Structure 1
């Protein structure tokens, strides 16, 4: 196991590979393989966060965990660059969240890259906090950001996000197969 698999988690990387394989099979119009892939998974996901049952709760919780972690780090830095970085992260997270509903591997990669950059920024902020005058607020926000990043990693490697993506991929496969089987063949 290499370092990247250990840091990011093998479940998320396997899910990204699964979604990428399905996208390649759709692009190659391999209907028999798609049928086998779709039949492997039929269970619909259910996630319970804060007493609410929804299919997309794991993706929405991941979105808010990463967004709040960015907000905590931006408050600590307190500057114009932090605001611009926060808006950029918000836009990228919105794009990633919309891609999850369409079962795109790119959205999972985007979540993973945002999480990686926030972890790196979190470590840099630890060094920056050493040079600032001591503040309980800064220390509390930095700790909250670390806990939110840990929560995001747990959600990215959790079974609910995997079930959600597999369910969306099976729906995507069924739509493609239905479309491919109803279209007349061109000779």
Structure 2
């Protein structure tokens, strides 16, 4: 019987998860918001030891029939953050979304926080720029974001330590936050 071939990336990710879950003070408080129209979920992740949070994958409402956007889903996040007395430190994207529009710029205007995504968004921007024939006005340098994460980067949500994992698949820029 042969043993499985070791996968250093998988083992590294498992070590990060075990370390985070082993410390109750490092367990985030998570409130999830389901958007029925896009069948997606946004999350508010809170440091249990402070009032600091991050918002992950926010949704901007879009009506394809009219071509109009609305803020109902984002306003629900704002209402929650304000009712809980939270301070937004991060607006995190796991990838460039084709299934919904991001409300992160709207939320940043209303709540503050740094807008972040994976560094490989540069690859996605280059591809989309060509596909949609965007010309030189469409910036392909990630400057629409405050921070571009790389695999293994660490960051904090208040006192909660987090690690970025590059998990390409849906797009080359996909990230997981542990």
Structure 1 and Structure 2 fold alike (TM over 0.5)? no
Q: Which has the higher strand share?
A: 2
Q: TM-score, length-normalised on structure 1?
A: 0.28
Larger C-alpha radius of gyration, 1 or 2?
1
